[in-house]
């Protein structure tokens, strides 16, 4: 299991949906190993809990990962208090993992379907980072035979936008890769900006650092910004603070000046004021409508 979890921990290029689904695969493997081992149910629960805590601590802003993991732990804990046989409990929790994954896929498919309808022929769409939800939205638009072009910002560091650009071009979608600093050069040619998010909170969202300047650039050129995101990613700041976890400085600077201060933060907060519409699993909303329906207490 340690090698599997390390693969997830070392992945700094995938979006929260991909990370969450890989976590579900890890949890599934824990139960499969348990069936052939001699550990009791309490030990298996602790193994699952430890894996979950490690992943959440490493990715504190990925709300989908947090909610999915915690929901599974709560479900498992309730079964432990029942009088069911161990084999039944293990099978039931495995089935629960499949149900959770199917629900996630269904919600993302809804976002992709609804969001793809906003893209029309000959549109130019700029995006940032490597959101799996946005990726599926583009694939849905391409499946409808729409002819459009995606401009992928490199998203430095760690350049996960390159991964998205290579994926899209392999799928036959016209794609252009540009550096983060070129957003202002090409923005006036865009029809929209399409973004994903790791978290929604009271009046904003969390995404890869660089999203805020991209939104500011879009506003300057009067280009609408669309946010494609699952409602399961809502977590208010009053409930849990947003964390800015420092990443490896070597991604920014490889020089020898030890006294040089280097900062490398992957995620930032972006006000929802910059978003034209929110594409969620509950439908497409004007931003003020979404805030009133889902983010107001």
Residue partners of 288: CB distance under 8 A and separation at least 6: none
CATH of domain 2-109: 1.20.120
Residue partners of 48: CB distance under 8 A and separation at least 6: 27, 30, 72, 73, 76
Give the tens place of pLDDT for each residue, 20-77.
Answer: 999 999 999 999 888 888 889 999 999 999 999 999 999 999 999 999 999 999 999 9
Domain with CATH 3.40.50.10470 in the chain: 110-295
pLDDT, one tens digit for every residue, the chain (297 residues): 556 899 999 999 999 999 999 999 999 999 988 888 888 999 999 999 999 999 999 999 999 999 999 999 999 999 999 989 999 999 999 999 999 999 999 999 999 999 999 999 999 999 999 999 999 999 999 999 999 999 999 999 999 999 999 999 999 999 999 999 999 999 999 999 999 999 999 999 999 999 999 999 999 999 999 999 999 999 999 999 999 889 999 999 999 999 999 999 999 999 999 999 999 999 999 999 999 999 987
Domain with CATH 1.20.120 in the chain: 2-109
Mean of per-residue pLDDT scores for the chain: 96
Distance CA 204, CA 208 (A): 13
Whether the full predicted model's pTM is greater than 0.75, yes or no, is: yes
At the fourth CATH level, which superfamily is domain 110-295?
Translation initiation factor eif-2b; domain 2 (3.40.50.10470)
Distance CA 225, CA 207 (A): 14
């Amino acid at each position: 299991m340690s090698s599997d979890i390390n693969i997830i921990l070392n992945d700094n290029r995938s979006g929260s949906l991909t990370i969450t689904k890989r976590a579900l695969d890890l949890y599934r493997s824990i139960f499969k190993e348990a069936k052939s081992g001699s550990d009791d149910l309490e030990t298996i629960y602790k193994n699952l809990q430890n894996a979950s805590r490690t992943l959440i601590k490493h990715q504190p802003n990925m709300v989908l990962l947090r909610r999915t993991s915690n929901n599974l732990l709560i479900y498992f804990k309730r079964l432990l208090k029942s009088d069911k046989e161990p084999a039944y409990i293990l099978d039931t929790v495995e089935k629960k993992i499949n149900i959770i994954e199917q629900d996630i896929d269904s919600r993302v498919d809804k976002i992709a379907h609804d969001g793809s309808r906003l893209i029309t022929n000959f549109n130019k769409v700029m995006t940032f980072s490597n959101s799996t939800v946005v990726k599926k939205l583009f694939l849905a638009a391409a499946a409808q035979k729409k002819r459009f072009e995606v401009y992928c910002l490199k998203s430095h560091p760690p350049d996960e936008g390159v991964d998205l650009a290579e994926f899209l071009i392999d799928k036959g979608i016209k794609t252009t890769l540009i550096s983060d600093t070129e957003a202002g050069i090409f923005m006036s040619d865009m029809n929209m900006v399409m973004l994903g998010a790791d978290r929604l909170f009271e009046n904003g969202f969390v995404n890869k650092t660089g999203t805020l300047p991209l939104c500011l650039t879009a506003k300057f050129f009067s280009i609408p910004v669309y946010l494609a995101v699952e409602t399961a990613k809502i977590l208010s700041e009053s409930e849990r603070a947003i964390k800015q976890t420092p990443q490896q400085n070597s991604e920014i600077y490889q020089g020898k000046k030890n006294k040089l201060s280097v900062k490398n933060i992957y995620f930032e907060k972006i006000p929802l004021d910059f978003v034209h519409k929110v594409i969620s699993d509950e439908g497409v909303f004007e931003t003020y409508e979404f805030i009133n329906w889902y983010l107001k207490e």
